[in-house]
Every structure is written in C-alpha cells, then in structure tokens.
Amino acid sequence: MKKQEVKNFYEILKNTYPDATCSLDFKTPFQIVVAVMLSAQCTDERVNKTTPLLFERCKTIQDFADIDIKELEDIIHPCGFYKNKAKNIKLCAKQVLKNFDGVVPQNMEDLLTLAGVGRKSANVILLEAFGIANGIAVDTHAKRISNRIGLSSQSDPEKIEQDLLKIFPKEYLKDINHLFVWHGRNTCDSRKPKCEQCTVKQFCKYYK
C-alpha cells in the first residue's frame, strides 16, 4: 500500500467501526493481565462472563497469588485450558509481587518475563492498561486480515507485526488492532467473509 492508501484504509475502518475498543472487561492493570490470559483460545464474551466472580474473589494481586489452585481452576473452567491458565495466573501474580513490587510493569521486556504473557498479550496489556502503543497485538483476526488484504504474507504473528509496523504510522497503532478485531468479527469471518459488504474490499487481494 502507498502512504495515501494506508491512510484511506485506516480512515474507512475507523468510520466503519467508530466504537471499536477492547472487548475485555477490567478495572486494574493486573485484571487485564488475567483477562488476556483467559482469552487464549476463548471468546472475550465467555471471559467477561467468568471474570466478575474471579475478580470478586481475588481483589488484589496477593489474592491471586494465594488462592487455592483448585478453586481457581473451578472458577476459570469455562474458559478452557483451565489447568495451565490457573498455573500461569498464580505464578504471574507471584512474579509481579516478588520482581516488580506488586506493580504490573509498563514495558515489553519486563512483561515478557511474566508467566503466561507473550508478545501479543504484552501489546494488549501495554495499550489497554497504560495507553502505550509501540506494537500491534497480532491475534487470529489481525493475522487473517493481514494475509487476505496483502499487508503481510507471513504466518508467524511476530513477523506479521513487523510487517504491519512498517506500514502503519505510530499514531494509528492504538486503534489498528481494535479495528482488525471488529472487522474480523463483523465482516472478514474466517469461514464466510462478507466480501460484498466489506468497506475495504478495494484494498483486498483475497477479494480481487
């Protein structure tokens, strides 16, 4: 895409999805850490039905560190992969308490030292908890749309992110992942994309 096309693509998506924001419910930085962990291989809708009980039970990071693993597994069971997620949540809470004085770190390098936090999750945490947009969280929607539009031919999320960072100016980064998620959910479906309804089909290699 040329510079003007990138601008047009971005602005069309912004106009199509003016309310595009993070779909996960949270109030504190550590709550978004937990919500992002739970969202792996799970819908945000399911996560948001599970977290009210969890966040009521665990009001502090110390509570997450101290909760009995079986109780935690029972609460998050609906989100799938609950044993691994419970283990990571507890270990992550202990790491934040021990290594960062109970404060969720605000940089990629430190976030990646936490159990259950990869680059995609760290990008989400930085953006949603702290308003820091230095990268793009490449989830299944961002990956699918990037490949279909022709923004990246890569399959590895980190390589796709690097391609996207070369295309989109820094001022677009805080919105672009939300726009990809909403476009993926509403229009660019994995099985049955609604190509005729798509507002950015003129840019799309898949459509052409």
From the candidates 27, 85, 94, 139, give the one annotated as an active-site residue: 139
Q: Is 98 a catalytic residue?
A: no
- Of 148, 151, 177, 178, which Cα lies nearest the Cα of 162? 151
Give whole-number Cα distances, 151 to 8, 10, 55, 204, in Å.
Answer: 14, 13, 38, 9
Helices marked H in the chain: 3-16, 29-38, 44-57, 61-66, 69-76, 82-99, 108-111, 119-130, 140-149, 157-167, 173-186
Catalytic site residue from 85, 90, 120, 143 = 120
Whether residue 44 lies in the annotated active site: no
Residues assigned a catalytic role: 120, 139
